[in-house]
Amino acid sequence: MSEDMKVYKCRKIVKGSASGEALVSTDAMCFYLTDPETGTVIERNHAIHGKSIANKILVLKSGKGSSVVQVDGFYQLWVKNNLPAAIILIDTEPVIVSSAVMVGCTMVDRMDPDPYKAIEDGDYVEVDADRGEIRVRKKK
């Protein structure tokens, strides 16, 4: 591991490990309001409107919206290989958890400290759900 990597604790929700560029959403998300072909968020007035979540390490406030479109949002991104590589969740709620369980999207929560303080857009992040670890290298 490189010296400039910081290691944080978290809790596994859905198993797996992944790495990639961080994208931070301070808003809760309904995955149905993304374009499945690109992973771009299309919800107006959303904190990450116009950005793609595809293969990112998504730091996410929470899930929101109807109890079924979230499922389809995850499913459509899954079949197009445009899901986030992993999701670091702040406020854990059942609909987003069950959606991630169905498609096997790596998911963790209870990161210590607050992920909004530790992670910014463009940082390189590794999530190891099984070990309960998040490693962050700040962007230059």
Partner 1 sequence: MFLTDEEKRILDGAEGAGKQKAMEMLYALGVTFDAEKLIPIKRAHVALSGQEGDTYWCELLVDGGATCAVPPTTNPYWDTDYLTKFYDVTKEELDLANRTGEAYRKIGAILTYHCAPGVCSNVPFLGEHIAFSESSATPYVNGALGARSNRESSISALAAAVVGKTPYYGYHIDENRHGDILIEVDAELNECYDWGILGHCIGEMAGSLDPVLVFKNKVRPSQEDFLYFGAEAATSGAVAMYHMVGITPEAPTLEAAFGGKKIPAPAALITNKTLKDQETKLTAATGDINLVMLGCPHYTYSQILEIERLFAGRKVSHNTAFWILAESGAVELAERSRLRQKLELLGVRMVGNTCIDEPCWKSFEGSLGVTDSPKCAYYRERRGQPFAIRRLSECVEAAIKGRLD
62 near partner 1 (CB under 8 A): yes
Contacts of 57 (CB under 8 A, 6+ apart): 18, 19, 20, 21, 22, 23, 84, 85, 86, 87, 88, 119, 125, 127
Clarify whether 66 is annotated catalytic.
yes
Q: By rule CB under 8 A, what string of x and - marks binding of each residue 24-43 to partner 1?
A: ----x---xx--------x-
Distances (CA, A) of 71 to 66, 82, 124: 9, 14, 28
Q: Which stretch binds partner 1 (CB under 8 A): 16-24, 46-54, 72-80, 115-123?
A: 72-80
Q: What's the closest the beta carbon of residue 71 comes to partner 1, in angstroms?
A: 4
Q: Which helix (H) or strand (E) holds 94?
A: helix 94-103
Q: Which of 25, 52, 62, 66 is the catalytic position?
A: 66
Task: Give the residue numbers annotated as catalytic, written as ranges.
Answer: 66
Which spans of this chain sit near partner 1 (rule: CB under 8 A)?
13-14, 28, 32-33, 42, 44, 62-76, 79, 91-95, 97-99, 101-102, 109
